[in-house]
A and B are shown apart, each in its own frame.
Chain A
Amino acid sequence: MTRILGVLGLLVALYAVLLESNPAAGSLRNLIYVGNNQGRYGLVTLGAALVIIVGGIDLSIGSVVGCAAVLFGVLMKQGVHPVAAVGWVLLFGVCVGLVNGLLVTRVRLQPFLVTLCGMFVFRGAARMIGGAVDTPSVLEAHPEYAGALDALTAVLIGKNEKGVLVFPAMFALLLLAAAAVGFFLHRTAYGRYWYAIGHNELAAKYAGVNVNRQRTAVYVTCSALAALGGVLLLLNDSTISSDTAGAGLELYAILGAVLGGCSLRGGEGTAVGMVLGAMVLPVLETLVSFRGLKNDVIPAVIGLTLLLGTVTDELIRRRSRVSR
């Protein structure tokens, strides 16, 4: 609870500074823009956070996002209908998660190692299937997809047919997904199992929980969300390069999860916290640019913010432990 209040306070403060810094920052257009970025980060953060709750880690998220985006574009170019292509890309995500999950649970490899390898493998795979993809060239080859692609962009991104952002659809998507994650996490037996596994895998096993199956399911969810993130990336940016698409996103996702109250030791985290945690970084990024700082400082600002948050959190935790 204090964790949620903490990240909420941070968000409010960041928004306050943002709105105060520049009138343009408070424009509806900018807020929608920031909201959409939050949605995109948030979706992958949900997956990363679930994996962290069961005591794992997924470093392959960024590469899976990139690979999924390239795959999405290439499939459409090859003549797969956009809606069907979305289905295939999501299936790709499910398969990636299945492989990660099985390697972690059955072969008993360390999640860090498995997904670090995945990070390289899927980045390489993205380069192999296509250097760069863009929606204009898809439409050039298949003009008949224009309607479907516009519809997808409108529903998933919130851009009208002219490409103008009119509604934060990705943020809405995040809220929807977070509601689903929250239901599973806080209202069903599965969520209980995930917390139990994260805190004490053996006790969960001795209570009859099929630990391997639950873990695998969580990895599948995470990678499927990352694949969805890839679809969104291409729809939003219309042009992406396989070298950079989604690069580093796994770290943003992990950061969001931790800011939102997930402990890297596992067993802790809430759906609300995940959303709030994921909302911090996009605000911070806009803030940096509106303050007239160079983009180059963004990584440093992000790193310092997290460090500050972590230190504060640890100090609060220590104090509450002493007073107990």
Chain B
Amino acid sequence: MPTPRLAVRGARKQFPGVLALDGVSLALAAGEVLAVVGENGAGKSTLMKIVAGVYTPDAGDVELDGAPVRFATPASAIAAGVVLIHQELNLAENLTVADNLFLGRELTRGGFLRALDRRAMNARTADLLARVGLPAERALERVERLPPGEKQLVEIARALGTDVRVLIMDEPTSSLTQKETDQLYVVIDALKAAGVSVLYISHRLAEVKRVADRVVVLRDGRNAGELAKSEITHDHMVRLMVGRDLKQFYPKVKRSGTGGSAVLELRGVTFRGGPVRPVSLEVRAGEILGTAGLVGAGRTELSEAVFGVRALTGGEILINGTPARITSPADAIAAGVLLVPEDRRLHGLVLAESVGFNLALPNLDRLTSLFGVRRRAERELHATWIDRLRVKTPSAAQPVGLLSGGNQQKVVYGKWLARGPRVLILDEPTRGVDVGAKAEIYALIDELAGNGVAVWMITSDMEELLGMSDRVVVMHEGAIAGELSRAALSEEAVMRLATGGTGT
């Protein structure tokens, strides 16, 4: 291969508690479309952000046309012709398409006055829009009025306006219709023909097959393999994405597993802001039901609907066989359905308040007498759960925001265990938790299930899913893609369902 347009060699990036990238390399030729695939957390996004100057790598080199570069900011990357289009688009919705195309680099006249040169910008706008196949009259439309597909095209047009050499697209089709996606392919083909190199990140393997010239597979922050155009198949990619040894980390006592009766049952549930396809599933007493799916499959949203955060638009939720009316978290909690949320800093804890405050918060109704909160009972509750969960904190009065991630997460568990769950929903139960605390949390979850709690565990961590679940339901684009019994459970089977492939 001649000097590649873009080369990454041995990129390494450490985050607190996580080694996100451990020596990843790739090369991208001029006019080539290279897809980067991998499971959640494989390091795709981190790699892209390093290339685009959002992060600086701890080690490793990035070369552009053979010359080493080190972008300190996205602006310097853009100046060099490397543009990242984020999954969440970064357009100023209240401005017009033309304004957005020139945002931050307006064409001006009159020296320091910086008077806008409308005529020059309009002429250039028409040209840029034509290159992405948008009609010229879109120029004066406000971005918020455009459909998602056209917004994506505006982003691309903006990149073209900077003389882009490497265009990085992160899940570009996640909010596009099929028709809009097809239009995007046409534009990508045109970019290729013009010599622009494209790094394409996607979960949708069918799409990758259609658009990519070559595929690089990442796994656990390392290169897992590379596929030439002729080798790209769904199964081949999945095989490279998975395939690693499970650590002997999980308690896995011999539970009877699926013996209990259904405690939580969803019948044809649809909810506000969710997909229209109804979801049905049940979680039984004493089992851990794992739920897998790629980012954006709708798992968190579903759990929020069950917890009363999102209003149901159809179907029903049954607790112990009787329909439950859950319209707020308070209702869910009263019914014994408790949620350990995905984002504990936003939804799980009042960070500025103390460990004790947070442990007591959902349990105050049980700690209150006519004379207010019973101090002694509250202190007992603090001591009990700090001790039982081995929360490492100087005292109950310590602000919870000052604890480590693992100890924060233990406080979230503590406040619910103090209440006594009937159904415990765990959304990413160990995200941002160090290895030691992880093992403790796994033992705890196992013990809860052993005591008859119905545990519904949503996780993107494949090891966790395989290590902890008695049964797994896989979601894909808002719907249940399939169910796997413990016996049928394998990484390949999960990934096949999660990426839109068919079941076994």
Contact = CB atoms under 8 A, between A and B. Distances in A.
A208 interface: yes
A262 to B, nearest CB: 14
B364 A189 contact: yes
A183 B369 CA distance: 13
Interface of B: 307, 309, 328-330, 332-334, 339, 341, 346-353, 357, 360-362, 364-365, 367-368, 371-373, 415
A206 B330 CA distance: 8
A80 interface: no
Contacts of A200: 346, 349-352
A206 B350 contact: no
Given A207-B362, A210-B328, 13 more contacts: A188-B368, A189-B367, A196-B361, A203-B346, A203-B347, A203-B348, A204-B350, A205-B328, A205-B329, A206-B348, A208-B334, A267-B350, A267-B353
B228 to A, nearest CB: 48
- B332, B347, B350 interface centre (most CB from chain A within 10 Å): B350
Nearest to A200: B350
A72 interface: no
B325 to A, nearest CB: 15
A209 B329 CA distance: 8
Contacts of A195: 350, 353, 357
Interface of A: 183, 187-189, 192-193, 195-196, 199-200, 202-210, 267
A233 to B, nearest CB: 33
Contacts of B329: 205-208
B371 A267 contact: no
A207 B415 contact: yes
A206 B341 contact: yes
Contacts of B334: 208
B365 A189 contact: yes
B373 A189 contact: yes
A297 to B, nearest CB: 38
Nearest to B343: A202
Main secondary structure of the interface of A (DSSP, over half): helix
Contacts of B347: 202-203, 206
B442 to A, nearest CB: 23
Which 6 pairs show the lowest CB-CB distances between chains A and B?
Answer: A187-B372, A189-B364, A208-B333, A207-B362, A208-B330, A188-B372
Contacts of A183: 372
Contacts of B372: 183, 187-189
Nearest to B330: A208
A192 B362 CA distance: 10
A303 B333 CA distance: 47
B373 A199 contact: no
A196 B350 contact: yes
30 contacts: A183-B372, A189-B364, A189-B365, A189-B368, A189-B373, A192-B357, A192-B364, A192-B373, A195-B357, A196-B350, A196-B357, A196-B361, A199-B351, A200-B346, A200-B350, A202-B347, A203-B348, A206-B309, A206-B339, A206-B341, A207-B329, A207-B333, A207-B361, A207-B362, A208-B328, A208-B329, A208-B332, A208-B333, A208-B362, A210-B330
A195 B350 CA distance: 9
A187 B371 contact: yes
A196 B329 CA distance: 15
Contacts of A199: 350-353
Nearest to B344: A203
A205 B333 CA distance: 11
Contacts of A192: 357, 360-361, 364, 373
A208 B333 CA distance: 7
Contacts of B333: 207-208
